[in-house]
């Protein structure tokens, strides 16, 4: 049981209806760091998280969570805190009731911490879950996640729909959580600025596949954003223009760093921001497979099915 990986996905594929929600997804996070999961809506971020937590069955590959191979023992959930973009509690529960309800299930529930966090976040214990604003609801779920001494925090688009102040507060909370080097965080978002500074590792998803994974610096180094006149960026051999955007005054695209030299001298080549990487990769239209035939699930597929949970 290796404890140096917070989690790992290896060759994970998951079907959804007739197509694949995830295809051959492989990435891992060493313990003690933040992994940002970036992708447009529909890229597969939430499905990935569900598969990781055993909420969604996978059809191929293997998953490892906190050193345990899936299917993990149910007791492992003591160590995992989950925050989604919606509360998964009964709306009519008051925040004190939430604690009373969840406490019996956790060995290491820390009631004092829960109440302290509610206080820090400015949440009224007598308030009902359904009366919380979006930002407050997210903070409630964080309070719950942090109150049973979890080692791994999984955040699925926690900042979507949040005001900048709340988003900033969340970043601070993540930083506090990581003071313990045994703690790790998976943070999925389509708002790249969340991860600009605090992301250690990144995984970029597109169309259910991993486009790239590695440290944030590696990924920023792997691409260049190129800008030129409308005619400067043409499709030339050896250079893939990722997510090229053409207007009357110019064109802009993302290219792999090693291919950047192949472009003619008139273009401006710069290191990209995370935002530009996400935007261009997300805009990419697959040329070779317009009907997604390769992704369509065959009824007589011989892939071994591996049910999780």
Partner 1 sequence: MRVVLSNSAGLPLYQQVKEQLGTAILSGELGEGTVLPSVRALARDLRISVITTTRAYAELAAEGFIATVPGKGAFVLPLDSALVREQLLREVEGGLQAALDAARRAGLHREDLIQILDGLIQAEQYDAIQ
Partner 2 sequence: MTTVARMAVLDLRTVWPYRYYSLAVFGLGVLVFASRPMWMVPGLVLLFTSQIAPYPFNVADKAGLETLYAVLPLSRRSVLYGHYAWATACFVVTATAGTALALAFARVQAVPLGDRTLVPMLTLSWALFAVNIAIQFPLLVRFGYTRVSVLGTTLPLAAVVGTVYKLQLNMASIQNWLPLLGAAGVAAIVVSAAVATTVDRRRVRYGRSVSST
Distance CA 256, CA 159 (A): 30
Task: Rank residues 35 and 80 by Cβ distance to partner 2 and give the closer one.
Answer: 80
What angle, rounded to 10 degrees, do the helices at 134-146 and 164-177 form? 10
Distance CA 145, CA 90 (A): 16
Task: Rank residues 45 and 216 by Cβ distance to partner 2 and give the closer one.
Answer: 45
**Window contacting partner 1 (CB under 8 A); options: 50-58, 97-105, 140-148, 197-205:** 197-205
Site string for partner 1, 113-152 (x = CB under 8 A): ----------------------------------------
Q: Which does 45 bind (CB under 5 to 8 A by kind): partner 1, partner 2, none?
A: partner 2
Task: Rank residues 22 and 220 by Cβ distance to partner 2 and give the closer one.
Answer: 22
Task: Rank residues 55 and 268 by Cβ distance to partner 1 and give the closer one.
Answer: 268
Tell me which of 37, 49, 178, 251 binds partner 1, using CB under 8 A.
178
Task: Rank residues 11 and 172 by Cβ distance to partner 1 and give the closer one.
Answer: 172
Task: Rank residues 141 and 171 by Cβ distance to partner 1 and give the closer one.
Answer: 171
Task: Tell me if 212 contacts partner 1 by CB under 8 A.
Answer: no
Q: Which does 175 bind (CB under 5 to 8 A by kind): partner 1, partner 2, none?
A: partner 1
What does the angle CA 248 – CA 250 – CA 256 come to, to the nearest 5 degrees? 140
Residues that bind partner 2 (CB under 8 A): 16, 39, 41-47, 53-56, 74-78, 80, 82, 84-93, 97, 100-102, 104-106, 157, 307, 309
Task: Rank residues 11 and 271 by Cβ distance to partner 1 and give the closer one.
Answer: 271
Task: Tell me if 92 contacts partner 1 by CB under 8 A.
Answer: no
Distance CA 306, CA 71 (A): 10
Q: Which does 56 bind (CB under 5 to 8 A by kind): partner 2, partner 1, none?
A: partner 2
Any long-range contacts for 167-174 (C-beta under 8 Å, 24+ apart)? 167/191, 167/194, 169/121, 169/139, 170/138, 170/142, 170/194, 171/197, 171/198, 173/142, 173/146, 174/34, 174/198
What does the angle CA 84 – CA 87 – CA 88 come to, to the nearest 5 degrees? 95
Q: Which does 236 bind (CB under 5 to 8 A by kind): partner 2, partner 1, none?
A: none
Task: Tell me if 275 contacts partner 1 by CB under 8 A.
Answer: no
Nearest in space to 306 (alpha carbons), one of 14, 74, 9, 48: 14
Chain-centroid distance of CA 198 in Å reads 14
Place of tokens 């290896």: 10
**Window contacting partner 1 (CB under 8 A); options: 27-35, 76-84, 124-132, 293-301:** 27-35
The residues, any chain, with a CB within 8 Å of residue 171's CB and separated by 6 or more, are 194, 197, 198
Omega before residue 133 within 30° of 0, cis: no
CB 258 within 8 A of CB 250: no
CB 43 within 8 A of CB 92: no
Task: Tell me if 215 contacts partner 1 by CB under 8 A.
Answer: yes
Task: Tell me if 175 contacts partner 1 by CB under 8 A.
Answer: yes
Residues that bind partner 1 (CB under 8 A): 32-34, 171-172, 175-176, 178-181, 197-201, 215-217
């Amino acid at each position: 049981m290796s404890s140096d990986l917070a989690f790992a996905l290896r060759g994970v594929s998951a079907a959804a209806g007739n197509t694949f929600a995830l295809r051959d997804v492989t990435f891992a996070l060493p313990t003690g760091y933040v992994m940002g999961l970036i992708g447009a809506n529909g890229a597969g971020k939430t499905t990935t998280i569900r598969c990781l937590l055993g909420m969604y069955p996978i059809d191929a590959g293997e998953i490892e969570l906190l050193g345990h191979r899936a299917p993990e023992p149910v007791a492992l959930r003591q160590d995992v805190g989950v925050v989604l973009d919606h509360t998964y509690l009964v709306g009519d529960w008051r925040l004190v009731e939430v604690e009373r309800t969840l406490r019996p299930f956790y060995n290491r529930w820390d009631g004092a911490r829960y109440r302290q966090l509610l206080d820090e976040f400015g949440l009224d214990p007598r308030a009902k879950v359904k009366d919380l604003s979006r930002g407050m609801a997210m903070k409630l779920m964080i309070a719950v996640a942090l109150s049973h001494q979890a080692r791994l925090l999984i955040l699925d688009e926690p900042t979507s729909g949040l005001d900048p102040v709340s988003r900033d507060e969340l970043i601070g909370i993540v930083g506090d959580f990581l003071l313990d080097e045994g703690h790790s965080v998976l943070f999925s978002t389509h708002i790249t600025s969340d991860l600009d500074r605090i992301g250690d590792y990144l995984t970029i998803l597109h169309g259910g596949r991993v486009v790239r994974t590695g440290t944030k610096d590696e990924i920023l180094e792997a691409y260049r954003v190129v800008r030129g006149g409308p005619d400067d960026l043409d499709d030339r051999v050896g250079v893939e223009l990722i997510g090229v955007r053409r207007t009357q005054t110019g064109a802009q695209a993302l290219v792999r760093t090693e291919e950047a030299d192949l472009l003619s001298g008139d273009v401006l080549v710069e290191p990209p921001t995370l935002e530009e990487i996400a935007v261009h990769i997300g805009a990419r239209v697959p040329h070779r497979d317009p009907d997604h035939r390769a992704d369509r699930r065959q009824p007589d597929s011989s892939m071994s099915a591996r049910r999780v949970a």
